Structure 1
């Protein structure tokens, strides 16, 4: 089953992203543009942009799911 697309994500919601065998759980804080969000990691509370997670491309396992 396929996950969400980036443009279906909403501010204030929590998501799990899987890409290149790495998993990230985060909350969206702010929409920066149509393909980028400011995120807060749910485990480390670090803030980063969605662009930083996909800047090396999207792997075969790329998937975004709501938590």
Structure 2
């Protein structure tokens, strides 16, 4: 496989040429994927907390109605 990068030219085996491409792809996508996972976890936590408050308020209202 012929490789040209920043003015340098050379010939390397295909698997050696694909290794930096794979590593570069991982380095580019990992931060974006991690950020998205953190965003989804925060949203899930917010919804869980809102559901917990709603259930607690509903239980409080139903106990007042029984009196």
Q: Same fold (TM over 0.5)?
A: no
* Structure (1/2) with the larger helix percentage: 2
* Structure (1/2) with the larger strand percentage: 1
Q: Which has the higher contact order (CA 8 A, sep 6+)?
A: 1
- TM (normalized to structure 2)? 0.18
Give 1 or 2 for the bigger CA radius of gyration. Answer: 2
